[in-house]
Amino acid sequence: MSKKKGLSAEEKRTRMMEIFFETKDVFQLKDLEKIAPKEKGITSMSVKEVLQSLVDDSMVDCERIVTSNYYWVFPSKALHARKRKLEALESQLSEGSQKHASLQESIEKAKIGRCEMEERTMLAKELSSLRDQREQLKAEVEKYKDCDPQVVEEIRQANKVAKEAANRWTDNIFAIKSWAKRKFAFEENKIDKTFGIPEDFDYID
């Protein structure tokens, strides 16, 4: 046969309160140590501890008279004490829910941050491509220096467009680097190293 499960702390508290409600009497500890085991199944060894927890929560009143402690309960006071306890628990629950919502919001913002960092990586690749195109155009200009002036002018204009585009992307890179430093307290050299940004990264003259 399995051993009978003992009462939980809350069950003991509830049954102890039943003694006071049912009898509407005043007790000494020694009285309750006799009544509680017999009528409510609370072991005599735990009566003092249960009583003290109820006193601490203002559910049971206790007064020392001469050399003995006397315990009693005013039903209305016990009801108010339970109500205050419930309100405190509800407040804690509400606070926990708010913290959960705040944490969830932070998680969502972090996800957005990761997306923006991925976008920054794409911008860096696009900038690199534009720089390569510009170098090719510069080479074309050098190649056609002595050729038809109209052809050379067209190449120069294309080079100008590429330069402006590259500098716009450079603007974007600097803006996102600045955001990452503020948002995540990253050091600039760490950002550069992580995303392969060269030390001499700057606008094109």
Query: Which of helix, strand or coil describes residue 28?
Result: strand
Query: Which of helix, strand or coil describes residue 8?
Result: coil
DSSP state string for 46-71: HHHHHHHHHHHTTSSEEEEETTEEEE
Tokens of 73: 């309960």
Tokens of 203: 């606008």
Compute and round to an integer the Cα radius of gyration of the chain. 39
Nearest Cα to Cα of residue 43 among 69, 4, 82: 4
13 within 8 A of 51, measured Cβ to Cβ: no
Ordered by start, the domain boundaries in the chain are 9-73, 76-109, 150-195
CATH of domain 9-73: 1.10.10.10
Hey, which bits of 59-198 come out as E strands? 61-65, 68-72
pLDDT at 1: 47
182 within 8 A of 136, measured Cβ to Cβ: no
pLDDT at 38: 92
For 111-165, the pLDDT digits (tens) are: 665 656 677 777 777 777 777 887 877 766 665 555 455 555 565 676 676 677 7
Separation CA 22–CA 181 (nearest Å)? 68
pLDDT at 140: 65
Give the residues of the chain that fall short of pLDDT 50: 1-2, 147
pTM, to two decimals: 0.38
For helices 75-143 and 149-184, what crossing angle results, to 10°?
A: 160
Nearest Cα to Cα of residue 179 among 112, 122, 125: 112
